Structure 1
Amino acid sequence: MSDETENTNVDAAAGTENTEVQIAILGQYIKDLSFENPTPAQTLQKLSQEKPSMDINVNLNARGVGEDVYEVDLKITATAKAGEDTAFVSELVYSGLFAAKNLPENTLQPFLMIEAPRQLFPFARRIISDVTRDGGFPPLMLEPIDFAALYQQQIQQAQAQQAAENDVIVN
């Protein structure tokens, strides 16, 4: 162990910088959580006779909050309907602070939009499950999300939109 320390000091004394990629989760937390159950008596009666329809939306946001520190927000909105009536709406913004030192610029965005939310998702999934159960409904178990596919889809949509805007400008 002392050899490692000595090597580090020699490098520091020589004036060389450590360029090794360093990634860490500094913290994770609930930023916003809400659960709405607008008409529980009617909804629970309906749900005993019919299966609810579910609408799940997932959004990501990432921003720098310090030198080599980024906050990633994973927003999950789940809406259950029994016929035309809303059974419940659950909304969670689950966030994490990530340190990414010496990460090449071309890999920073994929890290923040794929790997960081992949690390947050199991915790957000458990929170959504618990809150729906505690709200009087069966626990909502979200299926795993392919964040890489979502990222690729987002890039393709942005490219298509840019191409359409360029066509409008040219014509």
Structure 2
Amino acid sequence: MSTPSAPDEQGTSTRPYLVRALHDWCTDNGFTPYIAVFVDRLVQVPMEYVKNNEIVLNVGFEATSGLKLGNDFIEFRARFGGVSRDIVVPVDHVVAIYARENGQGMAFPVPTEASSSGAAPRVADAGPAPEPASRGLRLAHAEEAAPEPSGEPPAPRAGWSDDQPPEPTPPSPPGSRPTLKRIK
């Protein structure tokens, strides 16, 4: 009797499963799930909200329509500046998912194409931009650390229902490594 073979020795990526699990955890606990996305030509988002090749998106059910958290893509419709837009994000471009209210979540490495090239492709900056996803988050890291906070004040994020960003937590001292925070 033979055993079913996996696509490769390591199996499929755990990222889509972890994204769905943390989305469910946020939703079950009344938190707002946000994803930080590395943006390149494969990502369909409003480019006027992209800064430093990153966008932070509210993926809560109240802020989205037709949300599909698939193994390969995250797809939904959301309003940006009052205009409904189709959003398509390859799951491997999600660099973090976390709860807006307390910063608990998980960070992931940037896509291999972006990290192996040495520098990410530049995206034109225009209009309001989200704060970097790593600022003030208490993240459990999946494989690598998220980028360091830039020290800039937070900017409004697309999909917020109010005009006030949450209070940022102080950044970790330089050179310190993130630690795993146990979620009960």
Please give the TM-score of this superposition, normalised by the length of structure 2: 0.25
Higher helix share: 1
Which is greater in Rg? 1
Higher strand share: 1
Please give the TM-score of this superposition, normalised by the length of structure 1: 0.26
